[in-house]
Chains A and B, each alone.
Chain A
Amino acid sequence: NAGVTQTPKFQVLKTGQSMTLQCAQDMNHEYMSWYRQDPGMGLRLIHYSVGAGITDQGEVPNGYNVSRSTTEDFPLRLLSAAPSQTSVYFCASSSWRGGAEETQYFGPGTRLLVL
């Protein structure tokens, strides 16, 4: 198993550009999520999905879109990049069937710089 993979590892954008951060998992997990981490801060939830075709907003969703057409993939789209979106982005997945002790697995992260 590759676990959770993210591409690209690093990206530089100009203000106003759009791009898609890719996330894939091969563990057949229903639950996937996107977080951003800014310096000196914990992770903040952007969007999450509990299964194919179902997505919902987290704490900081503005400026980001997601879709979940398959169980494996959960791309994050920046519609019009802004310097405030400079951050490290982590994708995570878990099986998370209620009551069972299951962890969230994190991808390696994408470092995004918006100029």
Chain B
Amino acid sequence: EDKVVQSPLSLVVHEGDTVTLNCSYEVTNFRSLLWYKQEKKAPTFLFMLTSSGIEKKSGRLSSILDKKELFSILNITATQTGDSAVYLCAVEVWRALTFGSGTRLQVQP
């Protein structure tokens, strides 16, 4: 059975802190790993990772994949209150996504 595990389940930080969110997976026929941000609505896409060791960056967010150790991390630097959300990791097996349960991030002023 395909499995995606995220840690920590929740996190409270102060503005300006740097956070690292973790995602490990056990799936067959891995194609890609995706990160989403979910506020009180539909998930919005952040990154898609297919190759090990290549960092994807978007502003203060970055992510990297390790296909040998089967994990990915999402880094957020200089956090802002607008970063407060649930961050979802998903692994694409053939044409379907298996999601982790998410990490709830709360950034306090």
**Cβ of A48 and Cβ of B101 under 8 Å apart?**
no
Q: Which secondary structure characterizes the binding site on chain A?
A: loop
Q: How far is the CB of A2 from chain B (nearest CB, A)?
A: 14
Scan residues 49-77 of chain A and give those whose CB is less than 8 A from a CB of chain B.
50, 58-59
Q: Is the CB of B42 within 8 A of A107?
A: yes
Contact A42 B41 (CB under 8 A): no
Residues of chain B contacted by A59 (CB below 8 angstroms)? 98
**Is A27 an interface position by the 8 A CB rule?**
no
How many chain B residues touch A (Cβ–Cβ < 8 Å)?
A: 21
Looking at chain B's contact residues, the main secondary structure is strand
User: Chain A residues near B96 (CB, 8 Å)?
Assistant: 33, 45, 48, 58
Nearest CB in chain B: distance from A40 CB, A: 7
Whole-angstrom distance from the CB of A43 to the nearest CB of chain B? 5
Our pick among A40, A90, A102, A109 for the contact of B101 (Cβ within 8 Å) is A40
Chain A residues at the B interface, C-beta cutoff of 8 Å: 31, 33, 35, 40-45, 48, 50, 58-59, 90, 96, 101-109
| Known pairs A41-B101, A48-B96, A107-B42 / 19 extra A-B pairs, C-beta < 8 Å | A33-B96, A33-B97, A40-B101, A42-B102, A43-B43, A43-B90, A43-B97, A45-B96, A59-B98, A90-B43, A96-B95, A101-B32, A103-B34, A103-B48, A104-B34, A104-B97, A106-B43, A109-B41, A109-B42
